[in-house]
């Protein structure tokens, strides 16, 4: 079970919609990597596509170009994200659905391919998620997704742990647990790779997390404002990770996965 409140996740990302694309460096980099794993429309006929957790719709034009589907459906839990996406990526064969990945408002056996980049880590019940994916995919359909593992932002977590015992960084499901939740879907590909972003100053990272709506939403986070002395101690602890080139790293554990519904 996730530690995240779905309503809080939806509200946080809705508020971040207008600033998201300007700060979502990780999301864009990982999504581009994932997109390269998606079969092109020339390789196989794909009529119905879903971008699950579509956010601002950043990957909608890219999916349209690569797959040439009859219809592409953007699904997201955050109404603010969908409003932004609809405004910036409208087309006759694109539709938008505000919905929960664990209770998809889509017909069974209706989708050829589901693309989802850095979204399912916010789900509450992975077994229920994968059961829904299985339900809506047609036989032979694919679920191509990326997600974050628990080693993500390890530097940030360790720096805070040197200061206090609160949970300051969102925690994600261990990848073996994720793998054990896929149910009746067949594993085609499962790759895990670190992605490291670099910052001149720590505030670049913390501001980025705030601007994309991905700040700490775990149940064990501290209540109220963090005192100045704590913040200074945290900053000093993070300085231990500064590299020889003068930059501070933020490392993410990213899984790239392709699953298939048996025919």
The string of pLDDT tens digits covering residues 52-97 is 999 999 999 999 999 999 999 999 999 999 999 999 998 999 999 9
pLDDT at position 42: 61
Residue 58 placed within a domain: yes
Q: Is residue 204 part of a domain?
A: no
**pLDDT of 12 strictly over 90:** no
- CATH number at 19 reads 3.40.50.150
Judge contact between 140 and 118, C-beta under 8 A.
no
Residue 186 lies in a domain: yes
Rounded to 5 degrees, what are φ and ψ at 150?
Answer: -70, -15
Confirm whether 136 is domain-assigned. Answer: yes
pLDDT in tens, 203-213: 999 999 888 86
pLDDT number for residue 214: 65
Residue 138 lies in a domain: yes
Number of domains forming the structure of the chain: 1
pLDDT of residue 21: 86
Separation CA 214–CA 220 (nearest Å)? 16
Q: What integer is the mean pLDDT of 94-109? A: 96
Q: Which domain holds residue 31?
A: 6-150+172-195+252-260
Predicted local confidence at residue 58, as pLDDT = 96
CA 110 to chain centre: 23
Give pTM, 2 decimals.
0.90
More confident residue, 257 or 14: 257
Q: Classify residue 213: in a domain, yes or no.
A: no
CA 121, CA 137: separation in Å to the nearest integer?
A: 20
CA dihedral 223, 172, 24, 39 (to 10 degrees): -160
Residue 191 belongs to a domain: yes
The answer to the question of residue 207 being in a domain is no
Residue 134 has pLDDT above 50, yes or no: yes
User: What integer pLDDT is reported at residue 229 of this predicted model?
Assistant: 85
């Amino acid at each position: 079970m996730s530690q995240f409140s779905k309503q809080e996740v939806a509200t946080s990302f809705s508020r971040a919609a207008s600033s998201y694309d300007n700060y979502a460096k990780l999301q864009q980099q990982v999504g581009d990597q994932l997109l390269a794993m998606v079969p092109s429309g020339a390789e196989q006929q794909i009529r119905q596509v879903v971008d699950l957790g579509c956010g601002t719709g950043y990957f909608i034009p890219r999916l349209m170009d690569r797959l040439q589907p009859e219809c592409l459906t953007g699904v997201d839990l955050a109404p603010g994200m969908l409003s932004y996406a609809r405004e910036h990526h409208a087309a006759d064969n694109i539709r938008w659905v505000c919905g929960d990945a664990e209770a998809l408002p889509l017909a069974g056996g209706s989708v050829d391919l589901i693309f989802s980049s850095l979204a399912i880590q916010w789900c509450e019940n992975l077994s229920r998620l994968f059961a829904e994916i299985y339900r809506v995919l047609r036989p032979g359909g694919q679920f191509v997704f990326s997600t974050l593992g628990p080693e993500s932002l390890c530097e940030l977590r360790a720096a805070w742990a040197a200061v206090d015992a609160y949970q300051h960084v969102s925690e994600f499901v261990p990848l073996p647990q994720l793998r054990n939740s896929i149910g009746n879907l067949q594993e085609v590909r499962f790759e895990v790779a670190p992605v490291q972003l670099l910052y001149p100053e720590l505030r670049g990272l913390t501001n980025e997390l705030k601007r994309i709506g991905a700040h700490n939403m775990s149940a064990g986070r501290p209540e109220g404002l963090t005192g100045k002395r704590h913040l200074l101690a945290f900053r000093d602890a993070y300085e231990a990770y500064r590299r020889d080139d003068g930059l501070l790293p933020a490392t993410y554990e990213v899984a790239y996965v392709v699953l298939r519904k048996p025919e």
